[in-house]
Structure 1
Amino acid sequence: MKRILSGVVAVLLSGTAAYAADVYQPPIEAPVVEQPVEVVQASGWYLRGDVGYAWNDLRGAHYFQGSNGFIKDFDSADIDDSWVIGGGVGYQINNYLRTDVTLDYWGGGDFEGSTTGSCGVAANCVSTDISSVSAWSLMANVYVDIGTYGAFTPYVGAGIGGTRVKWDGLRNTSCEVGNPGNCDPTVNHGGKDSWRFTYALMAGTAIDLTCNLKADVGYRFRDVDGGDMFGYAQSGGPGYDKGFYIHEARAGLRYSFGNVCEVPYEPPPEPIVYK
């Protein structure tokens, strides 16, 4: 009898274990499905403001000398370095292309030049010519944003427009070469102003400060055409400058309107499936 009962118990226990093995399965995690990445195109209006330092290169100047209308170059003609401040409004077309219109003031460029020739006190004289120049530039610009690397977006650009150059009056004093104390009275020539064609080339990088605010540091080259410089006075003038090359180191801010912040996509956690 004991043998029979033992055999029945053994059969029942083996059947229960086999059933439990069939029922229990370890949890299986569902495969992660990669979600397509949506490329968000940046676009919208922005405002900008900039300041800079300008290294100025005057390409020369000439003037009419005497009643016969003889035109002569200045022996020397230089302007000091100066500063630039400006602002503008622009539009980000997409992630790689933007455009803006800017208005800049360029000021404080002191001019000093000299000429040689006869004057009222001697046949061999040298002059000292003093003035200063300032300008407003209105430019239409286009930029290519090369790509974004972390917080940095390098770019290149170009622009065309006009520059209103304003010369102050020129003070001309001619003195004998061998006797610098023997001088003509100072002659004052009225300053001139004129619009000039201008083009510009730019390169730099934008730096993300917040979602809407970027710092902008870069370089700009401007080529300003020549034009009127000063008027006629006492058998001298008028005078004309031959234009400027202006090299600028610039820094500024750009503020973009609208919601330009991008939140990275995070897929929801997949539930654990028990089989």
Structure 2
Amino acid sequence: MYAPPAPPADFGGWYLRGDIGMTNQRAKSIEATVAPGFTKTTEGLGFDSSPLFDLGVGYRFNNWFRADVIGQYRGKANLHGADNVIGPGFVGSDNYSGSKSEWVVMANAYVDLGTWWCITPFIGAGVGGSYNKISGFRDDGIAYLAALTPTPSASVAYFADSGKWNFAWAAHAGLAYKVNPGFTVELAYSYMNLGDAAPGNFRLFDNSASGPTSIKLKELTSHDLKLGVRWDLNSPPAYVPPPLVTKG
């Protein structure tokens, strides 16, 4: 007869990963200096969707816990939005345009919640840094002054490209499907908080004024949808049949 087999041991090891996906981004607010006694309201602030790509390396510690480090590029997302400014004898509007992109480096940890029919739901979180770059930023302004009514005045300001590193964090959830012992496919959602961003120095279209920017995009966030793959670099231990025990 056969001796009872030993309980299966958790198997860990190194893996490589890669993801492609799309972003759904927003900014909490856009800050700009206004004169005392003036009020500002923002309309339609947001970004178009953009692609993302990442590569990373990780380690599975056991059947329920794993961690990895990734490098991610988030492609250019077009910016749109406007500020309306009202003050004594003044009504104005600034229409903003430009694009934003990021490089992200992040360490992530995941908990696998069990496996059913080769499908494993998981949750996770990550911390790291995001280099947020603003490119081609432009402010098209128009103002109505009581002294000039009904003739408006218009201006265009151009801003230098600028980027900076910010603290970033993420929350993850998804489903993993094990195609074979060494290859897994993931469908995942990530909430990303990427920090702030700002364009560089400004210059008016007629060079009548220039200087440091007062504009800042606050609290960039994104809802990402990703399709990923994982390649295990360690083969699982070979199955060894239990010893045959005979009587007599």
User: 1:249 maps to what in 2?
Assistant: 225
Offset of residue 254 of structure 1: 0.3
User: 1:77 maps to what in 2?
Assistant: 45
Match of residue 201, structure 2, among 224, 228, 231? 231
Distance 1:227 1:48, change over 3 A: same
- Choose 88-97 or 185-194, whichever is displaced more: 185-194
1:192-216: CA deviation from partner (whole Å, max 9, x where unpaired): 2111111111111221112211111
1:81-118: CA deviation from partner (whole Å, max 9, x where unpaired): 22211010001111111110011111221111212348
User: 1:101 maps to what in 2?
Assistant: 69
User: 1:48 maps to what in 2?
Assistant: 17
- Partners of 1:154 and 1:54 lie apart in 2 by 22
User: 2:158 maps to what in 1?
Assistant: 188
Name the one with the larger strand percent.
2
TM-score in terms of structure 1 length:
0.75
Q: Which runs of 5+ in 1 are unaligned?
A: 1-31
- Choose 235-244 or 144-153, whichever is displaced more: 235-244
Across the aligned residues of Structure 1 and Structure 2, the Cα RMSD in angstroms comes to 3.1
Q: Residues 1-275 of structure 1 correspond to what in structure 2 (within 5 A)?
A: 32-65=1-34, 74-117=42-85, 123-176=90-143, 184-233=154-203, 234=209, 237-260=213-236, 263=239, 265=241, 268=244
CA contact (8 A) 1:65 1:235 kept: no
- Partners of 1:105 and 1:129 lie apart in 2 by 24
User: 2:206 maps to what in 1?
Assistant: none
User: Rg bigger for which structure?
Assistant: 1
- Choose 241-250 or 37-46, whichever is displaced more: 37-46
Q: Which runs of 5+ in 2 are unaligned?
A: 204-208
CA contact (8 A) 1:62 1:74 kept: no
Name the one with the larger helix percent.
1
1:108-154: CA deviation from partner (whole Å, max 9, x where unpaired): 21111212348xxx943322211110001100111111222231222
Offset of residue 163 of structure 1: 0.4
- Partners of 1:190 and 1:65 lie apart in 2 by 21
Offset of residue 65 of structure 1: 4.1
CA contact (8 A) 1:230 1:240 kept: no
* One-letter amino acid of the structure 2 residue matched with residue 62 of structure 1: E
TM-score in terms of structure 2 length:
0.82
- Equivalent pairs, count: 236
* One-letter amino acid of the structure 2 residue matched with residue 204 of structure 1: G
Offset of residue 244 of structure 1: 1.4
- Partners of 1:43 and 1:157 lie apart in 2 by 18
SS in 2 for 1:140: strand
Distance 1:158 1:87, change over 3 A: same
- Partners of 1:265 and 1:53 lie apart in 2 by 46
Distance 1:243 1:49, change over 3 A: same
Distance 1:217 1:44, change over 3 A: same
